[in-house]
Structure 1
């Protein structure tokens, strides 16, 4: 078994780098985790619904770390018209992200009806932009819809959009279920699917006792995790890395008790798993654990780049070597702001050992 791997220009086709001081803290970690190209999510406050806002955000990311190729997205919203799509495409914006209302972080401006956006999707199809779908529907007790089955209920929307827009590139983001893998596999080549690193490891049993494992979409059953792993093992080019690395302050991940005149209330745990600082070594470690290390280049570089039409930069390679010292490779560091007390982010895999490191 090889002790060294060289990968052409790894890409993460779904990453959150937030805004303000959090952005300053986490943005440099994208490159440190081995990523050369990053596809950035637009769910800021306020959401990025105009070309000007997206370009301003991109300039900020390039100021913080010009070594990464930052690919940008708009947030699907009534302000995003067909005219705005054509303007964004001309400015080099890559895609549009759709969030159903209220299903995840900063999604209160999300959509409720895909039909009203058909003129927008048509313009995207004509301009070659990508539609990125957060693949869940809102919970609805009357219909027995919860975070456990929200992705499965969404798949009817995916099938209809793929049928109605056969030339529109559509990505089902961060798949978590065997049903999602089966559906994407059955659809035409214009439909792709991102898979996170953490969903290749987690099941609901690992999420329940650990707030740092809580994310949306929620990790599901062992059979679902196995389906994600088998999608990568198959080498199917529809499946590629989208980490959904989502940093939150430690205080937002660990619910705390706040007191008021009328008693006490427990704050909610924020949804998100943070993997950027260790991403490509983590993916290599996970793929090796289920016999898919030979699929690493396809999963973290070739498949996503081919789907998005983003070529590798010549000479822009990542070298990794196997960690043979048992005392090395343990993830130990949290990430703290030097300027803001209490701004601390805990990475995934803390206390566990990676089998690979970046040279």
Structure 2
């Protein structure tokens, strides 16, 4: 019988280390600041996004980037990805596989941070996807149709019916088409935000999964409409959509199809509140595991999730095992963490002495579960 975890009654809980299947660790000074926070959040394995400037489009760039991350924090396993770009060919995919690169991330052109070099036409990449299917690599999809013509030069971006609120549902036919064309290609619909996205993943075979972020398990439209530090792409949607995400964590019908990918995306504080255009991204890395536990506990309190459905299997699965199974990787470190109730005050700002970059974490000034390594 599954062990139910009554979060509201717990003071501490031991778990395997968390696997975060979607992180932005940037480069340079920002990377020096945020990469050490991976383990602060109870995480020892991450899947790293390639949308640097310039984007990571070659095997050499990718391996050099991994070396820089390892030099900053060697006690984390970094799974690496390439940026889907016109220079990515089937031959590059073969080279990437041999080099141990895990997957390729697709951004629709202009849809989010550092995506100006993204995809204009998915069909032109069919030979690349076919080779990825043969090489058993992962295709990660940012599942939105661009909605702002001024910085998204695609045919769909001029469609006045596309907004940040329906950009994800408008993309879902593309997911279904890709899965039908390449049924064995492992595809992840990243950072799902709508009930429609969850349903689309469920319609597909087991080669398709979805990631859920810690902040989307908590936020709705009104949160980001009034707070730039809650603004990301894709944006948080309705309360009904948020509750559908929470249910998907423990839903027996789709158990294992959705797992944690925080999409933790640090930006300098000035770009979140001091410029004309607000940067899209929510920074959650230092408190990743605690945020998820908080969201599930509140979901149980509100009656959205049945308390009996929050089992050890669900927590360990969503926070690590299901993602590792889909990615076909193992946590060779076999590390464990102990989380303790409300023992951690979330910093107002993250900065290094003498550094010029400051980042504001999600839910600044509040409290969450602390993490200790065993």
TM-score where L is the length of structure 2: 0.89
* Residue 253 (str. 1) matches residue 272 (str. 2): yes
Is this contact kept in 1: 2:46–2:77, CA < 8 A? yes
Q: Which residue of 2 aligns with 1:306?
A: 325
Q: Which residue of 2 aligns with 1:261?
A: none
Q: Which residue of 2 aligns with 1:331?
A: 346
Q: Which residue of 2 aligns with 1:43?
A: 51
* Residue 185 (str. 1) matches residue 193 (str. 2): no
Q: Which moved more, 1:246-255 or 1:313-322?
A: 313-322
Is this contact kept in 1: 2:20–2:43, CA < 8 A? yes
Which of these residues, 209, 215, 218, is aligned with residue 235 of structure 2? Answer: 218
What is the Cα deviation at residue 293 of structure 1?
Answer: 4.2
Q: Which residue of 1 aligns with 2:92?
A: 84
Which of these residues, 298, 316, 323, is aligned with residue 335 of structure 2? Answer: 316
What is the CA–CA distance in structure 1 between the aligned matches of 2:245 and 2:73, rounded to whole Å?
Answer: 32
* Residue 99 (str. 1) matches residue 107 (str. 2): yes
What is the Cα deviation at residue 314 of structure 1?
Answer: 5.2
What is the CA–CA distance in structure 1 between the aligned matches of 2:18 and 2:328, rounded to whole Å?
Answer: 14
Q: Which residue of 1 aligns with 2:6?
A: none
In structure 2, stretches of 5+ residues that fail to align are 1-8, 148-156, 301-308
Is this contact kept in 1: 2:39–2:76, CA < 8 A? yes
Q: Which residue of 2 aligns with 1:344?
A: 358
Q: Which residue of 2 aligns with 1:66?
A: 74
What is the Cα deviation at residue 353 of structure 1?
Answer: 2.1
SS of the equivalent of 2:36 reads helix
What is the CA–CA distance in structure 2 between the aligned matches of 1:181 and 1:315, rounded to whole Å?
Answer: 30
SS of the equivalent of 2:344 reads coil
RMSD: 1.4
* Residue 176 (str. 1) matches residue 190 (str. 2): no
What is the CA–CA distance in structure 2 between the aligned matches of 1:357 and 1:340, rounded to whole Å?
Answer: 26
TM-score where L is the length of structure 1: 0.93
* Residue 109 (str. 1) matches residue 121 (str. 2): no
SS of the equivalent of 2:46 reads strand
SS of the equivalent of 1:135 reads coil
What is the CA–CA distance in structure 1 between the aligned matches of 2:352 and 2:345, rounded to whole Å?
Answer: 22
Is this contact kept in 1: 2:19–2:324, CA < 8 A? yes
Q: Which residue of 2 aligns with 1:24?
A: 32
What is the CA–CA distance in structure 2 between the aligned matches of 1:101 and 1:296, rounded to whole Å?
Answer: 35
What is the CA–CA distance in structure 2 between the aligned matches of 1:48 and 1:357, rounded to whole Å?
Answer: 32
What is the CA–CA distance in structure 2 between the aligned matches of 1:62 and 1:248, rounded to whole Å?
Answer: 21
Q: Which residue of 1 aligns with 2:295?
A: 286
For residues 81-111 of structure 1, give each alpha carbon's deviation from its aligned partner in whole angstroms, at most 9, with x where no partner exists. Answer: 0000000000000000000000000000001
In structure 1, stretches of 5+ residues that fail to align are 257-266
Q: Which residue of 1 aligns with 2:173?
A: 156
Q: Which residue of 2 aligns with 1:4?
A: 12
Is this contact kept in 2: 1:282–1:356, CA < 8 A? no
Is this contact kept in 1: 2:341–2:368, CA < 8 A? no
What is the CA–CA distance in structure 1 between the aligned matches of 2:110 and 2:185, rounded to whole Å?
Answer: 25
What is the CA–CA distance in structure 2 between the aligned matches of 1:75 and 1:314, rounded to whole Å?
Answer: 28
Is this contact kept in 1: 2:40–2:371, CA < 8 A? no
* Residue 268 (str. 1) matches residue 285 (str. 2): no
Q: Which moved more, 1:174-183 or 1:140-149?
A: 140-149
What is the Cα deviation at residue 213 of structure 1?
Answer: 0.4
What is the Cα deviation at residue 148 of structure 1?
Answer: 1.0
For residues 36-67 of structure 1, give each alpha carbon's deviation from its aligned partner in whole angstroms, at most 9, with x where no partner exists. Answer: 10000000000000000000000000000000
